[in-house]
A and B are shown apart, each in its own frame.
Chain A
């Protein structure tokens, strides 16, 4: 450290739109480029240390024990016998263990049920041994004594709650339906989904005195610290979480999970580092699922296809006492016009693993069903599906009259249709046994900003250091923060270092809800803008008259290398961005359009996607490559949702039947054809000073509908119960 260190703060609350478009004026040329991830070489060469890879000496391994029944109370277990097995150090169970992972931004421990079982697969005990193999076998040898309790394992008999605050109504939907020229009134079902990130949930806990260091795989460290501390009954200041690399999250790692609490508890008791990694089966059985949904959708339209009413009534499921409910109809209020509306939401209570965030909670399934219904409306009205949607784009948010911050759905529809060749699609096309069909759908996702802090240091050598507890869950955070800082301060990317995933660093919003780039990037922007002001001040000019490029500051009559400004030590600014009035003054959302070509096999009912395109508008695109990758990933999720992914439960006892990746079918390479992605030029001044919006989830929001709609076009079978596996197509195919 240098004596002359100079630290200050800068803060922005987004109360006003920012249409200065600063990143269009800066000249470093980093922003928006498809810059490679700085962490890429580490990842592809195995040097990036994921949670279970940074192993301290003397580490022991714990394996969690699964509850075998959906309801009951554990009264004892054969710990004495198991402790005698080879290598076993101890057996833990009881009140520290979580019932389920914390929901996103919970900021406190989830239920710790002290041996009460709420679902099959609930981790109820931990066996720690010297080696993984010993621990795994010993965990298998655990015999639980359980007093059975009633459990609801069949959705058909589950009780239904109808929360008052989740119902809304405008106008008279029934009248609109009876007056309408065209209507749709159908029920759609989507299956439960699992994120199943490539890196399973993993933690290594190590205590030093009363201080815990936990290497984990989590998305939102500032909340995770509090959740973990609360679960362990210690002060948050004694909990330090490291998550420099996270191998996928998709919502499943928003909150602290079983492995972290179990590892920390065991490490504290044993006085040694303990690692706990969930098996793939445990990931599927004990981390967050996306609830299955039943969605009753009603659409009313006049003779021109202009919508006069929308009804969207959804039923989801959840464990008892959990408040999260898949917000299925979150975007229904603003996507299309129609003055008569009814939004309903019901929750069935069931003894299954906790329902929580899985990539784009709400829109992922809600827009998918709505967009199948829109295709049905296009079909009955005879209006082209793209045109139908364009006719129904509202001027303002129809639910509350708010203006949109920026709205590029029409542009995305046009761009997508043009790129895909929508107008040239051929009806009744075949390719051997394959019936070819085309479908499209709109995309939308709400846009958010969360309080975020980041520290940016201009070092004495002119290099930059960016520090925040923000995570990179494979999304490209290292890349975009490098780009934002380098762009703002005129520093080449290889002179910018970004440190992430350490809870001792300034607290970011975390990765989730597509808000990570805007929020953490916003705080870096704010800090950088303050640094620019300091440089301008030193040069005696206004900040806007300052040009920074390749480590050189230039004004009208002066040039200076950046190190000239840090002769007395580095400059550090901690930047803060807060959400403000712009979040509520305008309806903020991202939009897009999907286009798919599928083949349906006329013999077997197998569906394969042949090509798929997405056009998206998400404000300024910070990194063209990582943003595109997000969209490709979202569209791939969409293929899975449409065709293969389904959590299957045995309704007799409630257990998850397909608890591995052999039988929970995520799309494999051969299921994913060449996908193409375009971005529609957009700047959203209401979002943040970068005019960028969230892109991490938009690619899944409605994607599956384009495939389902293409299946209908191909073979005339309208699948309303996803996924569209062959057994649902077969009955509609011609006899053989």
Chain B
């Protein structure tokens, strides 16, 4: 680990006034990356003592989740469990109990990919070292994304939490260097890896202060994660979905997928194909085809195309009670 300066923030402005510092909260990902010198910040600003740990109702009936609420606390929150069940499930499907106790809401959104080549500093990686190439493209790419990829990077986003939040229509509150706040929909937060080192719209010195969820929506919701072992493994595919059926027709559909995209993947075309239709296996199959229509698989992750299709179909069946 490279030596670094350490600042302990006691106010948000301590962060926004030091745009050259890398923010550390739970440290569950950053510390690993620093030990391996995948990330070598000169300066850390520790935000763990900031007052960003509350979960509070919003005026429009939604929920405001402080950026430092731990994954464990968020998963256990009664409002989350009752009104945003997919989020609670997604959190509990991620990492391990120990990690969830440390990992924070803001940090989870910003966790880095698990691409093997990103982690190995003797290997090329455009995300870690722009211009060095992509080792995964023609190498081991079982974990990798099939959607939202470029010829520079096929890394997948590893978060479970963010997939559920994407489905729920979350927004991110960001405090800027001028002390002013801006709000960015999660759907606009992540970037396609045209420049793989730049993963989000977050600027230097900006601090995520909270994630807000809209008022609970109607319908059944769930989070389904498919993985190589029963716990402590990243998603090969996952689906967060909410479906409202009224008078035999789907009236609302919100769907996001994990494990298959360069970011928590939400495709409005999939949802549009469902809304107004009568739930059926045929319909779901059609929606699943739309999901993977633009998939760009490699040798190692080609199975994610049928896997994502099947997982989406099964999830939609489960939510709508469609048999077969």
Contact = CB atoms under 8 A, between A and B. Distances in A.
A665 B228 CA distance: 8
B37 interface: yes
Interface residues of A, number: 38
B231 A670 contact: yes
B3 A643 contact: no
Contacts of B285: 736
Given A650-B139, A655-B123, 15 more contacts: A120-B122, A136-B1, A137-B1, A604-B311, A606-B227, A652-B139, A659-B120, A668-B231, A670-B230, A671-B230, A671-B231, A726-B226, A726-B303, A727-B303, A736-B281
Contacts of A667: 229
A68 B123 CA distance: 9
Interface in A660-698: 660, 662-663, 665, 667-671
B240 interface: no
Nearest to A651: B139
Contacts of A736: 281, 285, 309-310, 313-314
Given A140-B37, A650-B135, A658-B116, A643 B229 contact: yes
A86 B140 CA distance: 37
A644 B140 contact: no
B122 A603 contact: no
A736 B287 CA distance: 12
B140 A650 contact: yes
Given A657-B140, A665-B229, A604 B310 contact: yes
A727 B285 CA distance: 20
Given A137-B2, A140-B37, A603-B314, A655 B122 contact: yes
Contact of B307 (A68, A604, A658, A671): A604
Could you tell me the dominant secondary structure of chain A's interface residues? loop
B122 A730 contact: no
B35 interface: yes
Given A668-B230, A726-B303, A648 B2 contact: no
A433 interface: yes
Across the A-B interface, the 10 shortest Cβ-Cβ residue pairs: A727-B303, A670-B230, A670-B231, A68-B122, A657-B140, A603-B314, A604-B226, A657-B116, A650-B139, A736-B310
Interface in B282-308: 285, 303, 306-307
Contacts of B123: 655
A133 interface: yes
17 contacts: A137-B1, A137-B2, A137-B37, A603-B311, A603-B313, A603-B314, A604-B226, A604-B237, A604-B314, A606-B226, A606-B228, A652-B139, A657-B139, A659-B120, A663-B116, A663-B143, A736-B313
A657 B144 CA distance: 13
B250 interface: no
B228 A725 contact: yes
Contact of A668 (B37, B229, B236, B314): B229
A604 B239 CA distance: 12
A337 interface: no
Interface string B193-236: 00000000000000000000000000000000011111111101
Nearest to B141: A657
A66 B309 CA distance: 42
Interface in A704-736: 725-727, 730-731, 736
Given A603-B310, A726-B236, A608 B230 contact: yes
Contacts of B310: 603-604, 730, 736
B277 interface: no
A671 B229 contact: yes
Could you tell me the dominant secondary structure of chain B's interface residues? loop
Contact of A730 (B114, B231, B232, B303): B303
Contacts of B230: 608, 668, 670-671
Nearest to B315: A603
A705 B17 CA distance: 60
A325 B280 CA distance: 56
A725 B306 CA distance: 14
A733 to B, nearest CB: 8
Contacts of A668: 229-232
A419 B213 CA distance: 52
A656 to B, nearest CB: 9
Name the residue in A604, A605, A608, A643 with the highest tally of chain B Cβ atoms < 10 Å from its Cβ. A604
Interface in A426-479: 433
Nearest to B158: A662
Interface string B227-262: 111111110110000000000000000000000000
Contacts of A655: 120, 122-123
A72 B138 CA distance: 24
Contacts of A606: 226-228
A736 B116 CA distance: 32
A659 to B, nearest CB: 7
Nearest to A725: B228
Given A137-B3, A140-B37, A433-B314, A726 B228 contact: yes
B58 interface: no
Interface in B96-148: 114, 116, 119-123, 135, 138-140, 142-143
A648 B140 contact: yes
Contacts of B135: 650
B323 to A, nearest CB: 12
Interface in B61-90: none
Nearest to A66: B122
Contacts of A120: 122
Contacts of A66: 122
A610 to B, nearest CB: 11
Nearest to A133: B1
Contacts of A133: 1
Interface string A70-88: 0000000000000000100
Interface in A612-666: 643-644, 648, 650, 652, 655, 657-660, 662-663, 665
B228 A644 contact: yes
Contacts of B236: 726
A133 B139 CA distance: 32
B96 to A, nearest CB: 8
A140 B40 CA distance: 11
A670 B96 CA distance: 11
Contacts of B142: 648, 727
Contacts of A652: 138-139
Nearest to B301: A727
Contacts of A643: 228-229
A233 to B, nearest CB: 32
A316 to B, nearest CB: 21
Contacts of A727: 142, 303, 307
Nearest to A609: B230
A57 B223 CA distance: 53
Contact of B114 (A663, A671, A725): A663
Contacts of B227: 606
Interface string A227-252: 00000000000000000000000000
